[in-house]
Amino acid sequence: MSTIDLNTAPNTPVAVQMDTILMAAQSTGVQPEKFQSDLVDNITNTLLRTPSPPCLLRAPTGSGKTYVISQVLERVSEQRDVLWFWFVPFVTLVQQTEDALRANAPSLAPCGLNAGRNQEAHGGMVMLSTAQGVARAQWRTKGYDADGDDETRTLAAFIARARVQGLQIGLVVDEAI
């Protein structure tokens, strides 16, 4: 316990000794539950099949879906060059998902869709956005090739460049029910 003596003369420096509190990062050393490990293994093995079938993970809030999927993406990306797109239902979840990916899957490179589409695509890159962020009618009617200019690459051009580089495209849709 720290104490402070307030009975000192005015303008006299007060020395305060504070106890040190050490806290580990939240996801350092996360030990998944057996069901989470089984999900990671099963989904990873399924996605590594040729052709890769779609997978659906439906689980209650707080069951670790983001953790499980981050582990799956990291494992798949270790074996295949995949550019991932991850769409969330709410704008507040974009940063939360990016933070979770950085903490739980350090070999992945998460970034926002608008900033990332001007970067060079690479395996393990995870482009994050809301579904509404790409559901603009103008984009759909023009094949997602409508909002580019001299400084901004269109989504269609970004994906075309990624495919030319031999990258596969992966998609995660995080849908609130």
Phi, psi of 46 (to 5 degrees): -65, -45
For 51-73, write each residue's pLDDT tens digit: 989 999 998 888 999 999 999 99
For 103-116, write each residue's pLDDT tens digit: 999 999 999 998 88
In a domain, 18, yes or no: no
Beta-sheet pairing, 125-130 with 168-173: unpaired
In a domain, 99, yes or no: yes
Residue 120's contacts (CB-CB under 8 Å, 6 or more residues apart) are 161
Is residue 141 scored above 80 in pLDDT? no
For 72-127, write each residue's pLDDT tens digit: 999 999 999 999 999 999 999 999 999 999 999 999 999 999 888 889 999 999 99
113 vs 147, higher pLDDT: 113
In a domain, 122, yes or no: yes
> Which long-range contacts link 124-128 to residues 24+ away (Cβ below 8 Å)?
124/73, 124/74, 124/77, 124/81, 124/82, 124/84, 125/83, 125/84, 126/73, 126/84, 126/85, 126/86, 126/101, 127/83, 127/84, 127/85, 127/86, 128/86, 128/87, 128/88, 128/94, 128/97, 128/98
Under the banding of pLDDT at 50, 70 and 90, the label for residue 152 is: confident
Residue 43 has what pLDDT? 96
152 vs 140, higher pLDDT: 152
Q: What is the pTM of this model?
A: 0.76
In a domain, 19, yes or no: no
In a domain, 85, yes or no: yes
Query: H or E element: which one contains 109?
Result: strand 109-112
In a domain, 90, yes or no: yes
Overall average pLDDT of the 18-46 stretch: 74
Residue 149's contacts (CB-CB under 8 Å, 6 or more residues apart) are none
In terms of average pLDDT, the best of 6-10, 18-22, 95-99, 156-160 is: 95-99
> Where does residue 146 rank: exposed (0-12), middle (13-18), buried (19+ CB within 10 A)?
middle
Residue 31 has what pLDDT? 87
Residue 4's contacts (CB-CB under 8 Å, 6 or more residues apart) are 14, 16
The total domain count for the chain is 1
Domain of 100 in residue numbering reads as 34-173
Is residue 42 scored above 60 in pLDDT? yes
Under the banding of pLDDT at 50, 70 and 90, the label for residue 134 is: confident
Is residue 6 scored above 50 in pLDDT? no
CATH of the domain at 46: 3.40.50.300
